[in-house]
Amino acid sequence: MSIRTRTAVLVPALAASLIGLTAAIPAHAAPAPDLADQLEALPGVTVTAEQPPPAEGYRFFLLTIRQPVDHTNPAGATFEQRFQLLHRAQDRPMVLHTTGYNMPEYAFRSEPTALLDANQISVEQRFFSPSRPDPADWDTLTIWQGATDHHRIVQTLAPLYTQAWISTGASKGGMTSVYHRRFYPRDVDGVVAYVTPNDANNRADTAYDRFFDTVGTTPACRTALKALQREALNRRTDLVTLYDAYAADNDLTFDEVFGSSDRAFEMIVLDLEWVFWQHSSEAACDTVPGADATTEEIFAFIETIAVPSFYSDEGITPYAPYYYQAATQLGWPQPKFRYLKDLLRYPNLYVANSSLPADLRAPHDPLPMSDVDRWVSREASEILFVYGGNDPWGAERFHPGGPDTHTFTAPGANHGADIELLTPADRASATATVLRWGGVEAVTAPLASAALAELDQRDPRNQRWPM
């Protein structure tokens, strides 16, 4: 029985015990406190703003909760962690959306929220600014500490939202949902994890090479992308000159992380094939420049696909919490790039530590991911994974083996894969599972609103995060 189920059992019992007292309550009794007041009364919670409702029947709040920097020392230093609440009704389910990154400051509905016509909270991951302790003890940026952040949020809000709780997230957010489930399996009634990588053995990455050798249905596209990477490295001098001009125009520097525009450029080229398949569709294959393209055309394609500004100090430093976690616990993908070896200048560049300032680079600990992988494959329950057939992040994925666990793959989909993109039979099965976990019937009428459709299109999975 989850903590919300226990609360839901207690509430009717309490109500029954008070039936005999209702006659004594004056007709002019004070109304129930407003939701904003109820939220403010929760321990450690501050309502920083209530924004105009994004759609009829909703309320939208921006909040913070005071969290221990180190959950093993709850009496020690604290920090304020941001989260948002899209309130539907207290008799609807609650969806815990774990971003894995920053908290979007706009209202949106994740897919499970729309399917369940549910409430939703979306949480900023610890150490993503401004949810960062000051001073920042990076040793406390672990999957257990993050899971315990979410556990405390569930515990704090459960008295207000007593129906079923479902957690969800995409990519690193999906990983975060899984880790929360691993350490606090009774917090939620089910997990819907999208495009969720699982690098259980960080040294065994041949799955990525196999992926890039077989992805899609157009061998010529795979060949064209690899040829473009070689062409870009052969034209390194001219392309780095264009990159330097681009950096000057956009006030970008390369001192803190990569050390030079040349080193950053080599990382862009290594990333190019990956980012193409992560964010594009196979239909975009005919946009890949050939060997007869001008250097300016090649740079324009790189700018469209890989976003060169991301590889500057200004672009990549905000994502240091992700790269630190990848370096220390999560692991990172490392294809061999055998077809580029003779053109590379920086050995072993394609690792997580390369994307960190020198003072944050740290050794990898393989035990946390081994533990999570073993738990998911043997013991986890009520977890549903959705992957994209053409998404490189799905090359190494979770393989759940416990009761009521499910894995679906959307054919031809990229890193934006969701239930809607599954085959009709899989979509029906996945939807039925989410509804069952949420304890509701199929929701139809509320989904017809144009305002709600706009909310659904603002899902933060559409942002260009590293994963």
Sequence-separated (6 or more) residues with CB below 8 Å from residue 296:
242
Query: CA–CA separation, 158 vs 3, rounded Å?
Result: 7
- 363 vs 449, more confident: 363
342 — phi, psi (to 5°)? -75, -10
Q: What is the mean pLDDT of residues 328-350?
A: 97
What pLDDT was estimated at residue 461? Answer: 65
Cis ω for the linkage preceding 130 (within 30 of 0)? yes
Query: CA–CA separation, 48 vs 4, rounded Å?
Result: 26
Output the CA–CA distances (angstroms, integers) from residue 317 to 136, 190, 264, 302, in the order listed: 15, 34, 13, 21
Lowest mean pLDDT among 7-16, 156-165, 362-371: 7-16
Query: CA–CA separation, 305 vs 278, rounded Å?
Result: 10
**Structure tokens belonging to residue 196:** 């969720």
Q: Which amino acid is at 429?
A: S
SS3 166: strand
Model confidence at 259, pLDDT cuts 50, 70, 90, reads very high
Whether the CB-CB separation of 351 and 397 falls below 8 Å is answered with: no
Sequence-separated (6 or more) residues with CB below 8 Å from residue 352:
323, 324, 326, 327, 332
List, in sequence order, every residue forming a beta bridge with 417; answer none if it has no partner.
none
Query: Does pLDDT of 77 surpass 70?
Result: yes
pTM exceeding 0.85:
yes
Model confidence at 120, pLDDT cuts 50, 70, 90, reads very high
Average pLDDT, whole number, for the chain?
Answer: 92
Whether the CB-CB separation of 128 and 446 falls below 8 Å is answered with: no
Query: Does pLDDT of 14 surpass 50?
Result: no
**Neighbour-count burial for 404-431, b at 16+ CB within 10 Å, e otherwise:** ebbbbbbebbbbbbbbebbeeebbeebb
Cα within 13 Å of Cα(213), Cβ side: 10
Query: CA–CA separation, 397 vs 404, rounded Å?
Result: 18
- 448 vs 355, more confident: 355
Query: CA–CA separation, 85 vs 63, rounded Å?
Result: 8
Whether the CB-CB separation of 278 and 390 falls below 8 Å is answered with: no
Model confidence at 218, pLDDT cuts 50, 70, 90, reads very high
Q: What single DSSP character describes residue 65?
A: E
List, in sequence order, every residue forming a beta bridge with 397; answer none if it has no partner.
197
Model confidence at 449, pLDDT cuts 50, 70, 90, reads low
Query: CA–CA separation, 423 vs 62, rounded Å?
Result: 36
Query: Does pLDDT of 226 surpass 90?
Result: yes
What pLDDT was estimated at residue 18? Answer: 37
Model confidence at 139, pLDDT cuts 50, 70, 90, reads very high
83 — phi, psi (to 5°)? -155, 165
Whether the CB-CB separation of 410 and 387 falls below 8 Å is answered with: yes
Model confidence at 441, pLDDT cuts 50, 70, 90, reads confident
Give the pairing of strands 119-123 and 78-87: antiparallel
